[in-house]
Chain A
Amino acid sequence: MGTMPRAQNPPEDDLLRRAARGEEAAFVQIYRAHQATLYRFALRMTGSAWNAEEIVQESFMALLRNAERYDASRGELGAFLFGMARNFVRKRTARRPAELPFADDGELPHGTSAAAHAGARGPANPAELAEQTQRIEQVRRAVLELPEEFREAVALCDLEEMSYEEAARLLDCPIGTIRSRLHRGRTLLAAQLEILRERPRKAVSR
């Protein structure tokens, strides 16, 4: 994971044209190549599985309606689709801030699985798992509280593990902007998560 997937054959612009004409198999190929990345981005930006589902659905509907607007020579279909998803995310987050569902029951919301993570690393005892769950939830909330531009950079570079170049292409901005947003986002996150405590109050430079 980490990059917007690219179909090799047939080209995505051809697939898109066929999908817009009602060819289900072509649509499915496009959908399955991009849905997971869009969903996770929307989930991390809105904090709500329900909103993320809606955003994915709206994005693909918009893609079908505006298929003729896609020009393969100007960029990948993934980036085109991502731009649409981003607009839908913004519409939702403009109406209301990112959601921070549940709090005290010790369980993670839909979209966050400490058990899955622990399982990937090896067995963990219940106490470790509970601690990890709490830690993950703390980070998830801190990410949701970041300003939108910083949150986008963190979601793409740190959580989807995209390169700065890929994130810049998707967000349609210079690499330097991504770097700067990421740096500021991480600084805010560190402060939120209170992992700056051991840092001297004043920078010591030569």
Chain B
Amino acid sequence: MKGNEEAMSCEELQKLAMNGKQPGGAASDAEHAAWEAHLEHCANCAAYQNTQLELRARLRELAAGTAAEQTPWRIEALLRREVAALGPRKESPWNRRGLALAVLAAAAVLVAAAVLRQSSPYVAPVAGVQPPPAIAAPPEISDSAEAAAENATAAGDFVLLPGGIPDAGDDSAILRVRLQRGELASMGLTVNEEASAEWVMVDLLVGPDGQPQAVRLLR
């Protein structure tokens, strides 16, 4: 390297370049002049400089070609469904605890009915408790479970809940409740999230163990 040696060394220039600086972006006019002067006389640094400039240009080209890339919309939709599922369960009056209490109440009614029936065969049926109806086969695809429950309504059939027992026996009973559609999800049915806040009347077929076995949507 010749001339301007005092102004800038190869190491100083490369250090500046490593820090992301270019001749045009030098801190001062003096630094810029020293930089340019060094490049004029130092083939090694000039080649280094050219390499860096070309590389940056090519990286910028790649960056510009991908700058508008975003996550596909379906990922947001999927995540929003996940988030929505976090909410209503905690805020709805028919959360898991509420449902468990309702089921316990139904069980208590059943036990009382069974006791009364055994002690007197002529006792009148307990209000709200009806003989178990026929149960429709459970839908094979969970996505269609709610739709199947609605379709079954027209025929007066119950749809078996996931894990429900197809033939719950004579000790099962029907509990009519009003709940939000979203609560059907806590029973294992897939619910259309757009209508999850809608209130519906349903018949729950409660087994002798107090657990709901099947559901029927009422229009």
Closest residue of B by beta carbon distance from A164: B20
Q: Is the CB of A200 within 8 A of B47?
A: yes
The yes or no answer to A92 lying at the interface (CB within 8 A) is no
Q: Is the CB of B90 within 8 A of A111?
A: no
The yes or no answer to A72 lying at the interface (CB within 8 A) is no
The yes or no answer to A136 lying at the interface (CB within 8 A) is yes
Closest residue of A by beta carbon distance from B84: A24
Which range contains the number of B residues in contact with the other chain?
Answer: 35 or more
Closest residue of B by beta carbon distance from A57: B75
**Which candidate, A4-12, A38-46, A74-82, A97-105, is the interface stretch facing chain B?**
A38-46
Closest residue of A by beta carbon distance from B20: A164
Q: Is the CB of B1 within 8 A of A112?
A: no
Chain B residues whose C-beta falls within 8 Å of the C-beta of A189 in the assembled complex: 55, 59
The yes or no answer to B121 lying at the interface (CB within 8 A) is no
Q: Which of B20, B68, B70, B84 contacts A22 (CB 8 A)?
A: B84
Q: Is the CB of A205 within 8 A of B1?
A: yes
The yes or no answer to A91 lying at the interface (CB within 8 A) is no
Least CB distance, A101 to chain B, in whole angstroms: 15
The yes or no answer to B51 lying at the interface (CB within 8 A) is yes
**Which candidate, B5-13, B96-104, B140-148, B207-215, is the interface stretch facing chain A?**
B5-13
Q: Is the CB of B87 within 8 A of A40?
A: no
Could you give 23 example pairs across A and B, Cβ below 8 Å? A20-B86, A22-B83, A22-B90, A28-B76, A28-B80, A35-B76, A53-B72, A60-B79, A108-B65, A113-B66, A113-B68, A116-B68, A117-B64, A136-B58, A154-B59, A164-B19, A189-B55, A190-B54, A193-B55, A196-B51, A199-B48, A200-B44, A206-B10
- The chain B residues found within 8 Å of chain A, CB to CB, are 1, 5, 9-11, 18-20, 42-44, 47-48, 50-52, 54-56, 58-59, 61-72, 75-76, 78-80, 82-91
**Nearest 7 CB-CB pairings of A with B:** A22-B87, A22-B86, A199-B47, A117-B64, A117-B65, A39-B71, A27-B83
